[in-house]
Structure 1
């Protein structure tokens, strides 16, 4: 009798679903991405992976009370195995800055604009 719950590769261990394997267990991360998507939309920007990751890197740095410049953001993305060029990261930062999502600080580091922070922390 066929059982769709059993694997068909000859092993007897039941396969874990995407929910069990942790792919979707990061509920906070998914909600965070949704909030970032809404933030970008409210500023009239389309969502892209690089924009999501750049904003996430700035949020992570702010939570640990660090500041990141272009090299710091680029390095953070490389640590996450997101192979983007330094120039691409710099251009995204410049665009987000020109749209008012982030600000360029006097020390050449970037941070989220206070208005953007307020939008992200709305419940």
Structure 2
């Protein structure tokens, strides 16, 4: 009988491995996002993929001492092959801003709230 989990080249799969392990392993990404998940929960927000990606983009920009507006966040997500609409990104930024996770700066760029930034860096 055919078993889709066994290799088709006649070799035996090592014990403890699963399909999708290695490069496509999502556990690494999940572990990296855990601190963002905790941050969202501390602000009373549910975790969503778009929130994780937007906060990660703002965090990366802050670490590179850059500021991003809506278009900058949207462009950065598109560069990472994350197909989100401009409107979706804008709405998430507005919601995160209203909840105090991020701040809207006078130059119309967004940045992480200092308290949120400190929490993400374990301070």
- Measured in 1, the distance between the counterparts of 2:99 and 2:41 equals 12
Structure 2 Cα separation of the partners of residues 46 and 117 of structure 1: 18
Measure, in 2, the Cα distance between the counterparts of 1:44 and 1:36. Answer: 12
TM-score (norm 2): 0.81
Provide runs of 4+ in structure 1 moved above 2 Å: 14-19, 21-27, 29-32
**3-state DSSP of counterpart to 2:103:** strand
- Pairing of 1:2-13 with structure 2 (within 5 A): 7-8=7-8, 10=9
The aligned length equals 117
Question: What CA RMSD, in Å, does the superposition of the two structures yield over aligned residues?
Answer: 2.6
Query: When the two structures are superposed, what TM-score results if normalisation uses the length of structure 1?
Result: 0.81
Per-residue CA deviation, residues 71-98 of structure 1 (Å, 9 max, x unaligned), is: 0000011111111110100000000000
Aligned partners of 1:59, 1:43: CA distance in 2, in Å? 17
CA distance in 2, matches of 1:121, 1:30: 17
Q: CA 1:11–1:77 in 2, change beyond 3 Å: closer, same or farther?
A: farther
Separation (CA, whole Å) in 1 of partners of 2:34 and 2:63? 18
Runs of 5+ unmatched residues, structure 2: none
Shift of residue 32, structure 1, vs aligned partner: 3.0
